[in-house]
């Protein structure tokens, strides 16, 4: 069985600094540090611009903010032994529900997220945001959250010592509706995006003080090493659960568990 760290969810984080944040975050000290950091990230990426072939940019920290805030407030409290780091929202995952690797059924039924979800200002007709009513399943999220649900049973047991975050909060769509990942953006767009994403990742690590940062896939590992190379946190890696990976289609959960045990992340 995976490690069973002491339940820290009952102990909330110290209240955030008395700084005003936009978009639904209280303008007082009631926002947790993670919520405040996410609001800063949301507003910072909203100020960026992207050129073709990117035609649509979805920021679920905006239109799905209530769901993301509920996720943070419900499961982000206290220090975490392990933080799992993903890349960016998938069109049928976090883009729909505001939760990293946000497979709809897992978010609705296991994580019990029930906050209202809006729509982006510009919506691709082939990639509508349907929120918790989206009929499509995000395979990566189904594998990831299904793995955690099988191993820990209840979400409170998992989040007692673990957390999940994405490096970049934006989803990029081309004119055809094709998903464009952040690693495919030109350098002129990548630099300002990475600057704010790097700052947020460093801030998350500072807040939750994990022993391990587990990159889900190669992109996340590269960013973790760039940002946290000098930080007092160990960097691990598991195979990305994407169906685009032939290896992931050959028993991803079993491979991920083996990797976690071999690295000493799970006992």
Q: What is the pLDDT of residues 176-216, one digit of tens each?
A: 999 999 999 999 999 999 999 999 999 999 999 999 999 99
Q: pLDDT confidence of 31, banded at 50, 70, 90?
A: low
**CA angle centred on 74, ends 70 and 78, rounded to 5°:** 130
Domain covering 33-262 assigned CATH 3.40.470.10 in the classification: yes
How many CB atoms are located within 10 Å of the residue 130 CB?
Answer: 15
Nearest one of 83, 116, 114, 115 to 100, comparing CA atoms: 83
Q: What is the pLDDT of residues 168-180, one digit of tens each?
A: 999 999 999 999 9
With a CB cutoff of 8 Å and minimum separation 6, the contacts of 84 are: 144, 162, 163, 164, 165, 214, 216, 238
Answer whether 0.75 is exceeded by the pTM: yes
Average pLDDT over residues 153-174: 98
Beta-strand relationship, 82-86 and 162-166:
parallel
On the question of pLDDT at 255 being above 90, the answer is yes
**For the chain, what are the domain ranges?**
33-262
Give yes or no for a contact between 174 and 50, defined as CB atoms under 8 angstroms apart.
no
């Amino acid at each position: 069985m995976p490690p069973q760290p002491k339940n820290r969810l009952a102990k909330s984080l110290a209240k955030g600094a008395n700084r005003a944040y936009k978009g639904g975050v209280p303008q007082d000290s009631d926002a947790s540090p993670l919520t405040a950091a996410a609001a800063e990230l949301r507003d910072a990426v909203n100020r960026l611009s992207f050129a073709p072939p990117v035609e649509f940019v979805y920021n679920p920290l905006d239109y799905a903010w209530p769901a993301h805030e509920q996720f943070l407030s419900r499961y982000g409290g206290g220090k975490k032994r392990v933080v799992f780091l993903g890349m960016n929202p998938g069109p049928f995952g976090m883009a729909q529900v505001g939760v990293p690797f946000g497979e709809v059924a897992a978010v609705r039924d296991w994580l019990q997220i029930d906050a209202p979800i809006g729509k982006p200002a510009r919506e691709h007709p082939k990639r509508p945001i349907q929120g918790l009513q989206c009929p499509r399943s995000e395979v990566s999220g189904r594998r990831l959250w299904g793995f955690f649900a099988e191993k820990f049973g209840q979400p409170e047991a998992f989040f007692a010592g673990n957390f999940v975050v994405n490096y970049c909060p934006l989803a990029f769509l081309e004119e055809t509706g094709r998903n464009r990942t952040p690693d495919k953006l030109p350098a002129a767009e990548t630099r300002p995006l990475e600057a704010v994403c790097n700052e947020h990742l460093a801030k998350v690590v500072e807040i939750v003080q994990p022993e391990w940062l587990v990159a889900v896939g190669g992109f996340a590992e590269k960013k973790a090493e760039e940002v946290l190379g000098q930080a007092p946190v160990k960097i691990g890696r598991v195979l990305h659960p994407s169906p685009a990976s032939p290896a992931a289609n050959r028993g991803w959960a079993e491979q991920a568990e083996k990797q976690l045990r071999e690295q000493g992340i799970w006992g």
